[in-house]
Amino acid sequence: MLSVTVLIAGLALAAGIPQRNQLESFSGSQFLCPEPYGFFADLEQCDKYYECIDDIPKPLLCEDGKVYDEFKGKAGHVDPCDIPYVVDCGDRLLMQPPSNSSVYCPRLHGIFADNKFCNKYYTCIDGLHTVTECPAGLHFDRKTGTCAWEAAAGRTNCADEKKCINDFCCEGAQDFVDGEGRSVPHPAFPNLVDCQKFYVCHNGINPQEASCSLGQVFNEETMMCDYPENVFACANYYKDNPIFDVVYDDADGDGSPDFGVRRDFSQTSIN
């Protein structure tokens, strides 16, 4: 398990502070090689290290956003640097100033939180970012660089990003309960333009369009597909469709459909 100092180092990277000019005291003249050969960490700056050859230290600097990994250094890696979330910097919390000005990547390399949305973060490599969304109910944890439960992440001044299709968003559907007070993990909602179609909020967050079989409409009360006569607002949805004449037979001439013998239209196509 990473120590507290690792987490502090990770925060120092994400915030870009404290910083040291990368040219300041960079000669290495004050550094004494512990051994004649090998890579060794600077005593104060986490992203600075030395390559010792014949007891002569050559100062080196990790790419912006990475820090020196002593384990990689001892193993002889060509690039002994890695992101702070997997490296224990101890008390070596100084960092070089950020060299990248991207909104998503304050440094060339690293993992960074989205300041607006709690459930998003960015992985940056050479200043280019990829976005990742935490699973439903989790927030990005700045201390560990991973997704965690909201209480553990402790994020403030941010919110979960709303997911929308057309004009429909799943905002507020995470805690949806039905008419009997039962929790509904994947609630469904009507498409206000088309009675046959509806939206499903997977895990209460991610919207997906869906459609009832031909001859049916979405029933908001049951969150299921149903016959039009059972959904008052959609009772006449198929009335002008010629293949449903038998269903909308106005036998008494009062202008309202008299639903007759119903047949299965699910395999019927409309040309």
For the stretch 102-157, pLDDT in tens is: 889 999 999 999 999 999 999 999 999 999 999 878 999 999 999 999 999 999 88
Query: Domain residue spans in the chain?
Result: 4-86, 110-153, 164-259
Paired strand residues for 248:
259
Place of tokens 């299921």: 224
CA–CA gap between residue 198 and residue 11 (Å, rounded) = 44
CA–CA gap between residue 269 and residue 263 (Å, rounded) = 14
CA–CA gap between residue 119 and residue 148 (Å, rounded) = 9
Task: Tell me which amino acid residue 169 is.
Answer: C
CATH number of the domain at 4-86, out of 1.25.40, 2.170.140, 1.10.1240, 2.60.40? 2.170.140
The confidence band for 250, taking pLDDT boundaries of 50, 70 and 90, is low
Q: What percent of the chain has pLDDT over 70?
A: 76
Burial class (CB in 10 A: 0-12, 13-18, 19+), 84: buried
CA–CA gap between residue 119 and residue 150 (Å, rounded) = 9
pLDDT in tens, 34-55: 999 999 999 999 999 999 999 9
pTM of the model: 0.59
CA–CA gap between residue 198 and residue 72 (Å, rounded) = 54
CA–CA gap between residue 170 and residue 189 (Å, rounded) = 9
Question: What is the pLDDT at residue 244?
Answer: 75
Judge whether 49 and 68 are in contact, CB under 8 Å.
Answer: yes
